[in-house]
Structure 1
Amino acid sequence: MTNARELWRILEPLHGMIYFVPEGQQRYAALGLDRTAGYFASRAAALGPVSAEVVIATFYNFNPTLVHGAIPAAWEKTTPEALLAARLDAADTALRRGLGDLVTQTGELGALARRAAEKACETPQGRPLFAAHAALPWPEEPLLALWWAQTLLREYRGDGHLAALLLEGLSGIEALVVHSGSGEVTAEALRRTRGWSTEEWSAAVDGLRVRRLVDGEGVLTEAGLELRARVEGRTDEMAEGPYTVLDQTERERYVELARPLSRAIVAAGLLPFKK
Structure 2
Amino acid sequence: MGTVTESPYRLAWRVTEPLHAMVYFVPEAPARYAKFGIEGMDGYFASRGAALGPVGPELVTAVFYNFNPALVSRAIPSVWTKATPEQLVQARLEAADAALTRGLGAEVVDGPEIAEAAVLARRAAEKAVTLPHGRPLFAAHAALPWPDRPHLVLFHAQMLLREFRGDGHVAALLANGISGLDAIVMHAASGEIDPRFLRGTRGWTGEQWAEAEGDLRRSGLLDDEGRLTEAGVALRAHVEDRTDQVAEVAYRAIGEEGCRRLAELTRPLSRTIVKGGLLNPMNLVTHSSRPNHLPEGNQ
Question: Is the contact made by 2:49 and 2:60 (CA closer than 8 Å) also made in structure 1?
Answer: yes
Of residues 191, 198, 216, the one that matches 2:199 is 191
Which residue of 2 is the match for residue 235 of structure 1? Answer: 243
- Work out whether residues 107 and 142 of structure 1, in 8 Å CA contact, stay in contact via their aligned partners in 2: yes
- Shift in Å, 1:195: 0.6
* Correspondent of 2:210 among 202, 215, 239: 202
Does the alignment pair 1:32 with 2:37?
yes
SS in 1 for 2:17: helix
The answer on 1:9 being equivalent to 2:10 is no
Q: Find the partner of 1:150 among 158, 163, 177.
A: 158
Q: How does 1:1-275 map to 2 (within 5 A)?
A: 2-100=7-105, 101-103=107-109, 104=111, 105-272=113-280
Give the letter for the 2:241 counterpart: G
Q: Is the 8 A contact 1:212 1:224 kept in 2?
A: yes
Contact 1:3/1:240, CA 8 A, preserved across alignment: no
Hey, what's the Cα distance between the residues in 2 that align with 1:171 and 1:194? Answer: 13
Q: Give me the whole-angstrom Cα distance separating, in 2, the residues matched to 1:76 and 1:38.
A: 13
Q: Structure 1 residue 3: deviation in Å? A: 3.0
Larger RCO, structure (CA 8 Å, separation 6 or more): 2
Instruction: Letter of the 2:189 partner, please give it.
Output: G
Q: Is the 8 A contact 2:11 2:260 kept in 1?
A: no
TM-score of the pair, normalised by structure 1: 0.97
1:174-193 Cα offsets, whole Å, 9 max, x none, are 01011111121121111111
TM-superposed CA distance for 1:248, in Å, is 2.7
1:177 touches 1:218 (CA, 8 Å); kept in 2? no
Once residues 174 and 257 of structure 2 are traced to their aligned partners in structure 1, the CA distance between those partners, rounded to angstroms, is 35
Which amino acid in structure 2 is aligned with residue 30 of structure 1?
Answer: K
> Gapped runs of 5+ residues in structure 2?
1-5, 282-299
Compared CA separation, residues 132 and 159, structure 1 to 2 (3 A): same
For residue 254 of structure 1, report the CA deviation from its aligned partner: 1.0
- How much identity, in percent, do the aligned residues show? 58
Is the 1:157–1:235 contact (alpha carbons within 8 Å) kept by the matching residues of 2? yes
Verify the 8 A CA contact 2:9 2:259 in the aligned structure 1: no
Aligned residues: 273
Contact 2:12 2:260 survives alignment (8 Å): no
For residue 225 of structure 1, what is the amino acid of its counterpart?
Answer: V
State how far apart, in whole Å, the 2-side matches of 1:202 and 1:149 are. 38
Post-superposition shift, 1:33?
0.4
How far residue 32 of structure 1 moved from its aligned partner, in angstroms, is 1.1
Read off the aligned partner of 2:108 and give its amino acid letter: L
Q: CA deviation at 1:206?
A: 0.2
Structure 2: distance between partners of 1:249 and 1:225: 31
SS at structure 1 position matched to 2:221? coil
Query: Distance in 1 between the 2:211 and 2:49 partners?
Result: 29
Displacement over 6 Å in runs of 4+: none
TM-score (norm 2): 0.89
Q: Which moved more, 1:157-166 or 1:215-224?
A: 215-224
Which stretch of the first structure deviates more once superposed, 102-111 or 149-158?
102-111
CA apart distance, 1:255: 1.2
Whole-angstrom distance in 2 between the partners of 1:252 and 1:4: 8
